[in-house]
Amino acid sequence: MVQSSRPATSRVPGANPWLALLAMMFGLFMALLDLSIVTIALPAIVQQLHTDLTTAGWVLDAYNLVFAVLLVTAGRLADLFGRKWIFMAGMAIFMLGSLLCGLAPAIGWLIGFRAFQAVGAAVLNPISLAILMAIFPREQRGAAVGLWGAAAGLASALGPVLGGLIVQFLSWRWIFYVNLPFCLVGLVLVWLWVPETRVVRQGERAERLDWPGLLLLSAALFLLVLAILQGNSWGWLSAPTLALLGLALVSLLGFVAVEVRVREPMVDLRLFRVRSFLLSDVAMLLFGVAMQGAFVIAVFYFIELRGYGQLDAAYALLPLPLASLVVSLLMGAWGRRLPPPLVGLTGLLLVALGFALLALIDASADALTTSWHLALIGVGMGLCFQSFPTFALSEVPPAQLGVGSGILNTCRQLGFALGVAVLIALFTSQVQQHVQQAQSRSVQLVVADQQLPPALRSRLVAGLQHVAGGQAKGEAQTGATTTVDLTPLAQMASPGPQREMVRGHLRQLSVRLTDIFQQEVMAAFAATWWASAAFAALGCLLTLLALLAGRGHARYGGRDSGAEVPVAETLAAL
What is the pLDDT tens value at each position of the chain, 574 positions in all?
A: 334 344 443 334 456 888 988 898 888 888 888 877 887 787 788 888 888 767 887 888 888 888 888 888 888 888 888 888 899 999 999 999 999 999 999 999 999 999 999 999 988 888 888 888 888 887 777 778 777 777 776 787 677 788 888 888 888 899 999 999 999 999 999 998 888 776 555 445 545 778 888 899 889 999 998 898 888 788 888 999 999 999 999 999 999 998 888 888 888 888 888 888 888 889 999 998 998 877 778 888 888 788 887 778 878 888 988 888 888 778 766 666 778 888 889 999 999 999 999 999 887 788 888 999 999 999 998 888 878 888 888 788 887 888 888 888 888 888 888 888 888 888 888 888 887 777 777 777 777 766 666 766 677 777 666 655 444 444 444 544 455 555 555 455 545 566 666 666 677 777 777 777 778 888 889 999 999 999 999 999 988 887 776 543 444 444 443 333 333 333 333 3
pLDDT of residue 201: 54
Give every CB contact of residue 36 below 8 A, 6+ residues apart in sequence. 155, 156, 157, 159, 160, 163, 295
Assess contact for 305 and 518: CB atoms under 8 A: yes
Assess contact for 252 and 220: CB atoms under 8 A: yes
**Spatial distance between the Cα atoms of 393 and 388, rounded to a whole number of angstroms:** 9
pLDDT of residue 355: 95
**Spatial distance between the Cα atoms of 176 and 163, rounded to a whole number of angstroms:** 10
Q: Does domain 14-198 have CATH number 1.20.1250.20?
A: yes
- DSSP-derived 3-state class of residue 202: coil
pLDDT of residue 568: 35
**Spatial distance between the Cα atoms of 381 and 421, rounded to a whole number of angstroms:** 20
pLDDT of residue 10: 39
Assess contact for 558 and 2: CB atoms under 8 A: no
The torsion angles phi and psi of 566, rounded to 5 degrees, stand at -80, 95
DSSP 396: S
The torsion angles phi and psi of 172, rounded to 5 degrees, stand at -60, -25
- Which string of DSSP letters, residue by residue, matches 247-275? HHHHHHHHHHHHHTTSSS-SS-GGGGGSH
**236-254 burial code (b ≥16 CB/10 A, e <16):** eeeeebeebbebbeebbeb
pLDDT of residue 450: 66
Strand 553-555 versus strand 199-201 pairing type: unpaired
Sign of CA dihedral 520, 349, 71, 333: positive
pTM of the model: 0.80
Longest dimension (CA), the chain: 99
pLDDT of residue 528: 92
* Other CB atoms within 10 Å distance of the CB of residue 26: 22
pLDDT of residue 194: 86
DSSP 196: P
Ranges of each domain in the chain: 14-198, 430-524
Residue at 195: amino acid letter? P
